[in-house]
């Protein structure tokens, strides 16, 4: 085991990670598969479009994760690829808190669909947080004409494609924004989101925030 307290001094097993290689301006998304003999074994990190990252031995990394008291980060080093394909990673310094715990949102476009009854709309997220998402949907020509809009407290089913995982989440509409381009812009709130799903979403949000900061967009979010 690694010295210290799990999810404070190091990320525990099954925790979602944002992984930033030193010198890179693009953070990656991963997950801790297990913690063993002083090392983290993490799933192959993925780019924001879902592609596997290349392993570089002894690459210097910065890993961050959501702890009970907020977002935490620690320096690390890639060691090797384990027999099960996971990356063996060693923490090289103490963890520090980056941000207090809040449902932060990030600009990220992920494929989504929402359905209720016999109607399904396809679209994309505009921004995402562990609490919900702003989405833009296309189609549904009869929606609002022959088919009524969902009621504000009506549960809908949202399918969210995280590339490495696909989540099906119950949601309710918080707000509908009128548009002139025949698209539907809805703010959705997640309902009873399981902790494992919330953890996956957090890791994507933190990765997107890092990439936004690298592009100089941090002031917008």
Q: What pLDDT, in 10s, does the model give residues 54-65?
A: 999 999 998 988
Looking at the structure, tell me whether residues 86 and 128 fall in a common domain: no
Mean pLDDT to the nearest integer, 56-79: 88
Please name every residue paired with 7 in a beta bridge, in sequence order, or none if there are none: none
Same-domain check for residues 135 and 50:
no
| Domain boundary, last residue among 53, 75, 101 | 101
Does residue 184 form part of some domain? yes
Provide the 8-state DSSP code for 146. T
If asked whether residues 56 and 112 sit together in one domain, one would say: no
Is 207 contained in some domain? no
Out of 70, 101, 132, a domain closes at 101
Phi-psi region of 7 (alpha: psi -120 to 50; beta: other; left: phi over 0): left
**Residue 208 within a domain:** no
Element (H, E) at 76: strand 70-81
Q: Is residue 138 located within the same domain as residue 193?
A: yes
pLDDT in tens, 109-153: 899 999 988 888 999 998 898 889 999 998 766 676 677 888 877
Q: How many CB atoms lie within 10 A of CB 197?
A: 18
Residues 128 and 141 in one domain: yes
pLDDT at 218: 43
| 52 and 113 in a common domain | no
**Per-residue pLDDT at 220 exceeds 50:** no
Q: Please report the DSSP string for 180-195 in residue order.
A: SSS-EEEEEEESS--H
Residue 209 inside a domain? The answer is: no
Is 5 a domain residue? no
CATH no. for residue 72? 2.30.110.70
Q: Which pair of structure tokens corresponds to residue 138?
A: 């296309």
Strands 156-161 and 111-116: antiparallel
| Same-domain check for residues 132 and 156 | yes
For the beta carbon of residue 52, count every other beta carbon within 10 angstroms.
13
Closest by CA to 202, choosing from 90, 104, 56, is 104
- The CB density around residue 96, as the number of other CB atoms within 10 Å, is 11
> Is residue 84 in some structural domain?
yes
Domain boundary among 45, 79, 101: 101
Q: Flag whether 143 is in a domain.
A: yes
Q: State mean pLDDT over 186-214.
A: 82
Task: State the number of CA atoms in the 13 A half-sphere of 127 facing the CB.
Answer: 13
Residues 115 and 191 in one domain: yes
Residue 163 Cα distances to 159, 186, 194, angstroms: 12, 22, 19
* Number of domains the chain contains: 2
pLDDT single digits (tens) 100-110:
555 567 788 89
Identify the DSSP state of 218. G
Asked if 81 and 141 sit in the same domain, the reply is no
- What pLDDT digit, counting tens, does each position of 147-162 carry? 788 887 789 999 999 8
* Residue numbers of the domain that contains 75: 16-101
pTM assigned to the model: 0.62
């Amino acid at each position: 085991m690694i010295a210290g307290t799990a999810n404070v001094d190091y990320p525990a097993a099954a925790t979602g990670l944002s992984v930033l290689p030193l010198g890179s301006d693009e953070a990656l998304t991963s997950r801790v598969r297990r913690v063993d003999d002083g090392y983290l074994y993490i799933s192959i990190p993925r780019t924001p479009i879902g592609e596997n990252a290349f392993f570089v031995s002894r690459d210097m990394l910065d890993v961050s994760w959501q702890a009970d008291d907020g977002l935490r980060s620690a320096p690390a080093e890639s060691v090797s690829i384990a027999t099960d394909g996971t990356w063996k990673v060693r923490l090289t310094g103490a963890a520090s808190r980056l941000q207090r715990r809040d449902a932060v949102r990030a600009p990220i476009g992920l494929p989504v669909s929402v359905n209720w009854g016999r109607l399904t709309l396809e679209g994309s997220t505009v921004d995402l947080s562990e609490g919900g998402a702003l989405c833009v949907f296309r189609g549904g020509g009869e929606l609002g004409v022959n088919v009524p809009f969902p009621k504000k407290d009506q549960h809908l089913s949202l399918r969210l494609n995280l590339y490495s995982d696909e989540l099906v989440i119950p949601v309710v509409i918080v707000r509908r924004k009128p548009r002139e381009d025949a698209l539907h812009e809805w703010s959705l709130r997640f309902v009873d989101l399981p902790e494992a799903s919330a953890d996956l979403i957090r890791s994507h949000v933190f990765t997107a925030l890092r990439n936004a900061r690298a592009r100089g967009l941090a002031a917008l979010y």
